[in-house]
Amino acid sequence: MRRRLPRTGNRWLALLSLWLTVAPTGLRAQSPAGSRGAAARGPREQWDGLPSVHEDYAGSASVEIAFVANAKAGTVALLDVASRSVLGVIDVNPTHEKSDGPGAANYAQDTDLSPDGKTLYVSRGYVGDVAAFDLVSGRMLWRCPLNTKRADHMTRTPDGRYLFVSALLDNRVYRIATATGKITGHLVTGVYPHDNKVSPDGRWLYNTSLGPIATLPRAADAPPLTETPGYPYQLTIADARTLKIRDAIQLDAPFRPWQFTPDREGIYAQLSNQHAVISYDLATRKVTGRLELPVKPGVTAKDWDFDAPHHGLALTDDGKTLCLAGRASDYAALVRAPELTLITTIPVGDAPGWAEVADEGRVCLIANSRSDDLSIISIADRVEIVRLPIGSGPKHITVTRIPAAVIAAFKARQ
């Protein structure tokens, strides 16, 4: 519903009020103290001293939204979790960039949101960059080229000041300042860095690497690598401020999507070229549990891409249930944790490639990358509630709460 404005002289005041409600933080006037600090520092390429660039909307009226990156379409779809409905899409390739790579087109790999819910960040796959968009208008705010052929998994710091994104083919993770869209540093990881996570206090960055993938080679005409990576299969732990590596843990097999256990002393992970989920203890650096998962009759290596027969792992907030995307066998698996015993498998669309938990742990969202739809799974009832068309080539899903005023403005634009 459109918001009606008064016909009196207060019309422009009302317009200003509405704009302040939905405008990106970076477009508003800075306080005098903030302006002086920015001027004294020059370009924002230091960790210490950065002003807070986002507002905290904790406690405000908000809506739980799932952001689904559609790699082939170059769009991000917004799903209202409560109503199970798609509110609209944002075109994250507005300039129609063309960049090919192995497998399907990839113009939207991963997403994240600013803490105030007004800015969408997108790792744009084979475009090789990260771009920021105003959520309401869809306008591109900045883009940050990574000089790579594959921008991959991405995360942001809890304060919203930085993004970390893997340059998969270059053995680097870049740090980007969200206020400016500028690279502020990088670290060298294991071979083919993939998933990234930041500790809740923002102190530590965790990255896992895949090792070389035969079906995803580095281009022959790519610039030569000048840095020596770590192990092929590595968990890298680095200081998020200094980017100095605290630990480089050699793994027996490459982790695909993974999550910390609730106490953050262990990890649940899927593995390359294996139909299994494991638990891993960080203190002993050993696998402590393993569950072999069902394989549909007739499945071969042609049924998955890039060494990932299983790709998508989410854990409920109570730590009791894992939801797994079984890409090769077209199912979602529910698994008891920490026991790692199978509850059930639920048929979904073609090639499910990501999983996220939503609605306070009641549902699991599964992105089906080849059938271009999204399955919503009831965890308690162990059934698929609904399957929704979502866009071409859905990949990652980001679930977060967005201020209701921002969503209302987005819907009005749609």
Q: Say what the pLDDT of residue 398 is.
A: 98
Q: Residue 40 falls within a domain, yes or no?
A: no
Token pair 């210490």 is found at 48
E runs forming strands in 272-393 = 276-281, 286-292, 313-315, 321-326, 331-336, 341-347, 352-358, 363-368, 373-378, 383-389
Q: Residue 4 falls within a domain, yes or no?
A: no
* Residue 207, domain extent: 11-28+62-413
Q: Residue 56 falls within a domain, yes or no?
A: no
Q: Say what the pLDDT of residue 16 is.
A: 38
Q: Residue 51 falls within a domain, yes or no?
A: no
Q: Residue 2 falls within a domain, yes or no?
A: no
Residues in the chain: 414
Instruction: Write the CATH number for 195.
Output: 2.130.10.10
State the average pLDDT over residues 219-237: 94
pLDDT in tens, 164-208: 999 999 999 999 999 999 999 999 999 999 999 999 999 999 999
Q: How many domains does the chain have?
A: 1
Q: Say what the pLDDT of residue 408 is.
A: 97
CA angle 120, 190, 205 (to 5 degrees): 45
